Amino acid sequence: MEPRISIVTIATDDLDRAVRFYEAMGLKRHAGITDGVAFFQMGGVILGLFPRASAEEDSGIAFAAAPSAVYLAYN
């Protein structure tokens, strides 16, 4: 296995606000996958934004109270 990070996921309480933030930084949202999630290609890494509730359900982990939670994936 090659040691690298391929996806950085941010679980956010306000998906639309987070998307606007990263788009304002110049990142381009993936146009084909937009239903309740946002992906941004950043070189060899993908930034994924998910609503907190969806991310908690998907991961099986209840995140601590914070504006957002970050988790990493290797695909």
Spell out the per-residue pLDDT of the chain, length 75, in tens. Answer: 778 888 888 888 899 999 999 999 999 999 998 889 999 999 889 999 999 888 888 878 877 766 556 666 666
If you ran DSSP here, which 8-state letter would residue 1 be given? -
Domain ranges of the chain: 7-73
Task: Note the pLDDT of residue 9.
Answer: 85
In CATH terms, the fold of domain 7-73 is 2,3-Dihydroxybiphenyl 1,2-Dioxygenase; domain 1 (3.10.180)
Task: Note the pLDDT of residue 72.
Answer: 63
Q: Alpha carbon 18 to chain centroid distance?
A: 9
Three-class SS of residue 12? strand
- N- to C-terminal Cα distance for the chain? 10
Task: Note the pLDDT of residue 62.
Answer: 79
Query: Is 27 in contact with 40 (CB distance < 8 Å)?
Result: yes
